[in-house]
Amino acid sequence: MSKLTLTTAALLTAAASTAQAGIDRSNQDISILFEEGNYLSFSYGDINPDIKGTANGVAPVGQSAVDYSQFSMGYKAQLNDQISLALIWDQPFGASINYAGTPLDPGMAEVKSSALSGILRYEMGNGFSVHAGARAQKVSGEIISGLGMLDAESKTEWGGLVGVAYERPEIALRVALTYFTKVDHKLTGVRATPFGVEAVTGSVEMPEAINLDFQTGIAENTLVFGSVRHAKWNNISLDTTGPGFGDANWVNFVEDITSYELGIGRRLNENWSVSLAFGYKDGMDTGSTFLAPAGAQKSVTVGAKYTQDNFDISAGVQYSQFDTKTVSSGGTTVVYDDGDAIAVGVKMGLRF
């Protein structure tokens, strides 16, 4: 099986794999590290969720999750036969929630993040390789709830990652396991209430996680691929304190999240490849934060990739359905009925 197919399936689904209604958005993908030679990529995704619910059993809650876009870029350099370097910029976490015109009005949240990862990989020559690196990460956002309005941001904070992989190119086999450390953020900002505005400090933690990615050939130019990601969101909270209004707990997460994906990729000819993947994400069917209005997620993703000389372009579409979720906070209980989301994405790559 041609080595060209080793990362085909991952590229096809990566373009449209960001239909996340929770706060974990990018899945911290590092697949560019396994590209052949030197490689530069850019990706864009547009996500359109539709999640509605009912407050306290009677009052309709209109559209809660808001459309958003995702960007990422990566660069991989093959330094020598054994050592390679990858630089990845992405937006790993975020929330886009707006409850205007609903019983939760004026509730809203707009949380953004950015991260730059530098990763080194060492190939041992027997199919095994190890990789490790550092991540520089920032978060910022605005939240409006019964506690008032919070506008805060962090400085650049640091985390790390470490992993191991095994490959057999002749059968397109690759298994990679990567551990991501947590990142603690110290926040500064302002809190506004009907009684005034004051400067506050706070803290929030972006969770540790572990990713398992795998693929293997099952026939000529055909391979199966998949992934498992477990992120430790349980007991993570966003808290602030100020000299006048005191302590405030803005967000609580009560469950870890595990996501699964399994798919098949097929190379049709020298230029075209296609893929089909199914996904499932569990956790957070209940909660105490309106930042995560969706329950368990089921998804299907179709993708296509065109390659010509040293250039490739991948495109994909993902459709997701969300299970019912119940959220209780501040004396209000909202049941979010089955929602869905459509994500479209494109990824361009240049090999040199």
Average model confidence (pLDDT) across the chain: 87
Q: Which of 1-5, 297-301, 343-347 has the lowest mean pLDDT?
A: 1-5
Q: State the SS3 of 257-289.
A: EEEEEEEEEEECCCCEEEEEEEEEECCCCEECC
pLDDT at 285: 62
pLDDT in tens, 314-327: 998 999 998 887 87
Q: In the block, which residue shows the tokens 């609903």? A: 102
pLDDT at 1: 43
Rounded to 10 degrees, the C-alpha dihedral 151/138/19/274 comes to 160
Taken in order of first residue, the domains within the chain and their CATH numbers are: 3-351 (2.40.160.60)
> What is the DSSP annotation of 37-57?
SSEEEEEEEEEEEE--EEETT
Please give the average per-residue pLDDT across 185-213, as a whole number.
Answer: 96
Checking if the pLDDT of 313 tops 80, the result is: yes
| Cis upstream peptide for 49 (omega within 30°) | no
pLDDT band at 9 (very low <50, low <70, confident <90, very high): very low
Q: Is the pTM of this model over 0.85?
A: yes
pLDDT in tens, 284-298: 666 666 666 777 889
Q: Which residues are CB-neighbours of 299 under 8 A, at least 6 positions away?
A: 19, 278, 279, 280, 281, 318, 319, 320, 321
pLDDT at 12: 47
